[in-house]
C-alpha cells in the first residue's frame, strides 16, 4: 500500500494531472482519445482537456502525454476527476465509428494519511492532494448521478478486463520564491518539467 500524504493542501496552490497512456485496449479499438473533467458538488469546474493518442504509439497501449492544469484560488475538497476514453471501433461492418469505451474516477483530495478517504463536503478542512501515480481500471458505464460523484462510484460497474489508464497527480510547480503558481501558458516550453 502506498503511503498517503499528510501535509494539508494550501489554497492558492495548483494541481497538474497527467494522463500518460492506456494499457490493454480491446482488440476492436483503433485510434483513441482521452478526456479529463473535474467535478465538484455536481458541477464541472473548468473546460474539458482532450487529447488524441500519439500517432506513433502502439494501438493497444497508446500514449497521450495529456496535461490538465487546474489553477484556482480555492479547491472544493470533494473534487473528483472523471476520465473518459473514446476509440474508433475497427470491427463495425459499416466502417470505423468512434465510441465511448468507458470511464474512470479519481478523488483529487483525501483525508490526511488515507488516500481513499475522500472528503465528504466542501467544508472539510486539512485535506491533502492525492498525489502520485495511478493505474486505474476503465469501467464500461458512467456513474448515473454526477451530483454525488465520488472516486468509488464506478466500483460496481463492469470493467474492461486488463484495460487501465495511467494517471499522475502532482502539485503545480511554483516560482523559486514560492509566491507564483506556474503554468505552461506562462512559462516558455524549454523550461517545462516532464
Identify the pLDDT of residue 142.
73
Beta bridge partners, 88, equal 98
pLDDT over 60 at 1, yes or no: no
pLDDT in tens, 34-44: 999 999 887 88
Q: What number is the average pLDDT over the span 155-168?
A: 90
Higher pLDDT, 25 or 5: 25
Q: 3-class secondary structure for the chain? A: CCCCCCCCCCCCCEEEEEEEEEECCCCCEEEEEEEEEEEECCEECCCCEEEECCCCCCCCCCEEEEEEEEECCCCCCCCEEEEEEEEEECCCCCCCEEEEEEEEEEECEEECCECCCCCCCCCCCCCEECCEEEEEEEECCCCCCHHHCCCCCCCCCCEEEEEEEEEEEEECCECCCCCCECCCCCCCHHHCCC
Give residue 154's region: left, alpha or beta (phi > 0; psi -120 to 50).
alpha
Contact between 182 and 172 (Cβ < 8 Å): yes
Contact between 71 and 172 (Cβ < 8 Å): yes
Q: What number is the average pLDDT over the span 10-35?
A: 88
Most confident of the following: 26-30, 73-77, 186-190: 73-77
Identify the pLDDT of residue 193.
63
Contact between 44 and 84 (Cβ < 8 Å): no
Identify the pLDDT of residue 93.
65
pLDDT-based confidence at 143, cuts 50/70/90?
Answer: low
CA angle 144, 62, 19 (to 5 degrees): 55
Rg (CA), the chain: 17
What percentage of residues in the chain have a pLDDT greater than 90?
31
Identify the pLDDT of residue 28.
78
pLDDT in tens, 56-107: 767 778 888 899 999 888 899 999 999 999 988 777 666 677 888 899 999 9
pLDDT-based confidence at 155, cuts 50/70/90?
Answer: confident
Identify the pLDDT of residue 105.
92
Question: What is the value of pTM for the model shown?
Answer: 0.86
User: Torsions phi, psi of 25, nearest 5?
Assistant: -60, 150
Amino acid at each position: 500500500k502506498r503511503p498517503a500524504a499528510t501535509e494539508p493542501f494550501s489554497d492558492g496552490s495548483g494541481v497538474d494531472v497527467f494522463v500518460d497512456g492506456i494499457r490493454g485496449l480491446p482488440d476492436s479499438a483503433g485510434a483513441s482519445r482521452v478526456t479529463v473533467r473535474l467535478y465538484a458538488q455536481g458541477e464541472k469546474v473548468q473546460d474539458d482537456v482532450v487529447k488524441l493518442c500519439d500517432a506513433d504509439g502502439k494501438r493497444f497501449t497508446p500514449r497521450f502525454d495529456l496535461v490538465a492544469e487546474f489553477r484556482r484560488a480555492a479547491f472544493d475538497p470533494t473534487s473528483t476527476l472523471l476520465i473518459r476514453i473514446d476509440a474508433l471501433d475497427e470491427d463495425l461492418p459499416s466502417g470505423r465509428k468512434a465510441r465511448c469505451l468507458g470511464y474512470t474516477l479519481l478523488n483529487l483530495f483525501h483525508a490526511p494519511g488515507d488516500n481513499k478517504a475522500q472528503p465528504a463536503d466542501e467544508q472539510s478542512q486539512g485535506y491533502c492532494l492525492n498525489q502520485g501515480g495511478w493505474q486505474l481500471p476503465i469501467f464500461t458505464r458512467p456513474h448515473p448521478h454526477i451530483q454525488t460523484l465520488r472516486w468509488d462510484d464506478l466500483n460496481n460497474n463492469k470493467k474492461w478486463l486488463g484495460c487501465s489508464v495511467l494517471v499522475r497527480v502532482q502539485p503545480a510547480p511554483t516560482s523559486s520564491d514560492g509566491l507564483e503558481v506556474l503554468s505552461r501558458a506562462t512559462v516558455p516550453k524549454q523550461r517545462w518539467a516532464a
